[in-house]
Chain A
Amino acid sequence: MQTTEKTIADELREWEHQTLLPFTERRPESREVFRTQGGAALERVYTPAHVEDVDFARDIGFPGQFPYTRGPYPTMYRAQPWTMRQIAGFGTADDTNERFRFLIAQGQTGISTDFDMPTLMGYDSDDERSEGEVGREGVAIDSVDDMLDLYAGIDLEKISVSMTINPSAWILLAMYLVTAEERGFDRKKLSGTIQNDIIKEYIAQKEWVYPPRPAMRLVRDSITYSAEHLPRYNPVNVSGYHAREAGSTAIQEVAFTLAAGIAYVEEVVKAGIDVDDFAPRLSFFFVSQIDFLEEVAKFRAARRVWARVMKERFGAKKPESMRLRFHCQTAGVSCTAREPLNNIARTAIEALAAVCGGAQSLHTNGYDEALSIPSEPAMKIALRTQQILADEVGVIGTIDPLGGSYAIERLTTDIEKGCFDYFAEVDKRGGTIKCIEDNFFQMELADAAYDLHRRKEAGERHIVTVTKYRDESANPHVELHHVDEAASGRQLARLRKTKETRDAAAVQAALDEIVRVAKTDENIMPATIAAVKARATGGEIIKALRPVFGTYVETPVF
């Protein structure tokens, strides 16, 4: 009879009483609560009783099918492994071009470009604010002449190129298009990604120029221009990496990122573009942190949440609009300066989480991540780590290998719920942009970062060699990337040459035209492309638009 049948919940209680309790009386557990990095308490063991609210067809399903929990494509790594995309950038364009060619020669399948702080912030190398930073943390790109050298000898129709750039992203996109044109490549065959995610700058990474609303217009213009002219290009890479590195929880990472995604979709739809005409080219970027189980669940949850948002909130019809594709990078903050070779182990575990979570492309950090930008040997081992995962470990043979695990499904569903709770809160507060202006995300993030820091100091989470097993006698020396102090001088010379050889009147006319367009609602991309072609610098374009758009000043909260 039905009533006498024991449920799994009954059996669990029985097990706790008969098996667990006598055992823990003799030998208690080492701590009362085990938490994920995000702070969620883990159950001792998960059973079907913990996932009764999870429905296979509705919530898990099949890869390449709504809600895409198991992956965006039906074959995943069985067709081809993820793109191995190690980021590089330092010194001048020539210096970085050499590193790109080294990485391609080692079997890397995509390119990813890191720019120096002045380029990221929209200052030319000869600006006073750039002193000491030119070519230091990334490559210095002032004009299209630099970009031509940056990608020299690389077939831009064959290899996909990613650029990590934000407030000045539309200018770098223009430079990329002019580079492709001057080298005779077909725009329609260009594949790649520009980060162009200004929202997370105000929340986490803090690279900004203009206030949020005009900055959103620039993102909108690059998305709509791309939708029309660049069928294989991802004009925005909505990013959670930075919020997490700044101390957010896993739920916040996904929730804030997708809240930004919602804001971009709203902005472009408002301009009269059909959601299915651009949503398929939206791409995402998450970190893979050290908490393996939580991370795998996070990637699965992100796909499911985005699919539901696109279908239910925006009425998307195309499957491609609903399937979330993401790039992944292992966690810089998880790397330690002490005994740096241990970072190889951390990075490998994080990379495995990214692969079990179904990433489309991956950057693995160098063991010297906590010390400097990566050296060539560090990048080589990082790339080999990915190759070992793809060719030796065997996890690529079956899709979403951890799907169906009671623990993973519970965590996935909890992260999903946390996201929708945040969306409700953001909507109640007037939307994503309003929440930025009111410091809502910034304060939530600061609270989470402080909480995690306190939990670490209280001994709840350890960092091997830093808070535990600290070996005072030895911190093995590793060769670091050598900062070339002469690079800045070489870059200034390059910039001088560009300025001396261009038609100054044509540059001025092109800048005037951008300013004119900026004051209207026309798309700013064509005027920017024309200015870049005339050899206007990034800094000049940014500066010309400051009187129109204004300058963002944060109200810092802590």
Chain B
Amino acid sequence: MPIKVLVAKPGLDGHDRGAKIVARALRDAGMEVVYTGLHQTPEMIVNAAIQEDVDVVGVSILSGAHMTIFPKIMTMLSDREVDDIAVVGGGVIQEDDIPKLKAIGVREIFNAEASTQDLIDGIERIVAETGRASTRSAQALADGTRVPDPAR
């Protein structure tokens, strides 16, 4: 089963060049990609991730609001007891902030210098580590009820 990725653009800014190139490169690498479009709230992103039953959420932020938005996404995922969707980030994120983001559970930050191959390799590695098989019932999750994962 191909890796399924949600490429998400939170916040108010419209810098979607990177997100779109990433979305296309991951699709070309054989992954299944859903792109949220712009101006998503953390709640919209978390809902989409659960409904689409993705392995990875890639959040692209260039507005400087990453220290507000990532904590919200991580808290919402944890409140809904989702622990098998890896969250990664990209955009303009200052180096000092990367350890802080990793401390709250963001798996990786891909900065502007990361090549698309770095990104593909990184996501494959993270999914392998997470060891997740996408066998949950998307509908049940969308309803908000946890379903025991038969693959575990």
Binding site for B on A (CB under 8 A): 117-118, 120-121, 123, 129-133, 136-137, 201, 204-207, 245-247, 336-338, 370-372, 446, 449-450, 453, 457, 466, 480, 483, 554-556, 558
Q: How far is the CB of A51 from chain B (nearest CB, A)?
A: 35
Q: How far is the CB of B30 from chain A (nearest CB, A)?
A: 16
Contact in complex: A558, B112 (CB < 8 Å): no
Number of A-B contacts (CB under 8 A): 87
Contact in complex: A117, B112 (CB < 8 Å): no
Contact in complex: A137, B37 (CB < 8 Å): no
Contact in complex: A371, B113 (CB < 8 Å): no
Bound Cα distance A217, B67 (Å) = 38
Stretch of B8-16, B78-86, B125-133 at the chain-chain interface: B8-16
Contact in complex: A556, B35 (CB < 8 Å): yes
Given contacts A129-B41, A136-B63, contact A337 B17 (CB under 8 A): no
Bound Cα distance A207, B20 (Å) = 17
Contact in complex: B21, A453 (CB < 8 Å): yes
Contacts of A558 in B (CB 8 A): 19-20, 23-24, 35
Contact in complex: B24, A371 (CB < 8 Å): no
Q: List 6 A-B contacts (CB under 8 A).
A: A118-B12, A131-B68, A132-B67, A133-B63, A337-B111, A446-B20
Q: Give the interface SS of chain B, mostly helix, strand, loop or mixed.
A: loop
B76 within 8 A of A: no
Contacts of A246 in B (CB 8 A): 16-17
Contacts of A370 in B (CB 8 A): 92, 112
Bound Cα distance A336, B19 (Å) = 18
Contact in complex: B65, A206 (CB < 8 Å): no
Task: Select one of A206, A372, A480, A483 contacting B14, CB under 8 A.
Answer: A206
Contact in complex: B115, A457 (CB < 8 Å): yes
Contacts of B137 in A (CB 8 A): none
Contacts of A245 in B (CB 8 A): 17
Across the interface, name the chain A residue whose C-beta is closest to B96. A480
Across the interface, name the chain A residue whose C-beta is closest to B67. A132
Contact in complex: B113, A338 (CB < 8 Å): yes
Q: How far is the CB of B119 from chain A (nearest CB, A)?
A: 11
Contact in complex: B12, A453 (CB < 8 Å): no
Bound Cα distance A247, B24 (Å) = 14
Bound Cα distance A336, B112 (Å) = 9
Contacts of B35 in A (CB 8 A): 556, 558
Q: How far is the CB of B78 from chain A (nearest CB, A)?
A: 20
Q: How far is the CB of A8 from chain B (nearest CB, A)?
A: 43
A interface footprint on B113-147 (CB within 8 Å = 1, 0 otherwise): 10111000000000000000000000000000000
Q: How large is the interface on B (under 10, 10 to 19, 20 to 34, 35 or more residues)?
A: 20 to 34
Binding site for A on B (CB under 8 A): 11-17, 19-21, 23-25, 35-39, 41, 63-65, 67-69, 92, 94, 111-113, 115-117
Contact in complex: A132, B20 (CB < 8 Å): no
Bound Cα distance A91, B36 (Å) = 30
Bound Cα distance A137, B14 (Å) = 13
Contact in complex: B21, A450 (CB < 8 Å): yes
Contacts of A123 in B (CB 8 A): 12
Task: Select one of B38, B64, B69, B111 contacting A206, CB under 8 A.
Answer: B38
Contacts of A131 in B (CB 8 A): 68
Across the interface, name the chain A residue whose C-beta is closest to B37. A556
Contact in complex: B38, A117 (CB < 8 Å): no
Contact in complex: A453, B116 (CB < 8 Å): yes
Contact in complex: A247, B94 (CB < 8 Å): no
Across the interface, name the chain A residue whose C-beta is closest to B41. A129
Q: Which of B12, B23, B67, B94 has the most CB of A within 10 A?
A: B12
Given contacts A207-B14, A371-B92, A556-B35, contact A449 B65 (CB under 8 A): no
Given contacts A449-B20, A558-B35, contact A205 B112 (CB under 8 A): no
Q: Which of A132, A337, A372 has the most CB of B within 10 A?
A: A132
Across the interface, name the chain A residue whose C-beta is closest to B10. A132
Q: A206-B38, A336-B113, A558-B24 are in contact. List 10 more A-B contacts (CB 8 A).
A: A117-B13, A131-B68, A137-B64, A207-B14, A246-B17, A450-B21, A450-B24, A453-B21, A466-B113, A558-B23
Contact in complex: B64, A372 (CB < 8 Å): yes
Contacts of B39 in A (CB 8 A): 121
Q: How far is the CB of B111 from chain A (nearest CB, A)?
A: 7
Given contacts A137-B13, A206-B14, contact A117 B113 (CB under 8 A): no
Q: How far is the CB of B122 from chain A (nearest CB, A)?
A: 15
Contacts of A204 in B (CB 8 A): 14
Q: How far is the CB of B15 from chain A (nearest CB, A)?
A: 8
Contacts of A130 in B (CB 8 A): 12
Contact in complex: B64, A136 (CB < 8 Å): yes
Q: How far is the CB of B56 from chain A (nearest CB, A)?
A: 16
Task: Select one of A118, A247, A457, A556 contacting B38, CB under 8 A.
Answer: A556
Contact in complex: A247, B14 (CB < 8 Å): no
Bound Cα distance A137, B117 (Å) = 31
Contacts of B68 in A (CB 8 A): 131-132
Bound Cα distance A349, B26 (Å) = 35
Contact in complex: B111, A133 (CB < 8 Å): no
Contact in complex: B12, A556 (CB < 8 Å): no
Contacts of B94 in A (CB 8 A): 371-372, 480
Contacts of B25 in A (CB 8 A): 450, 453
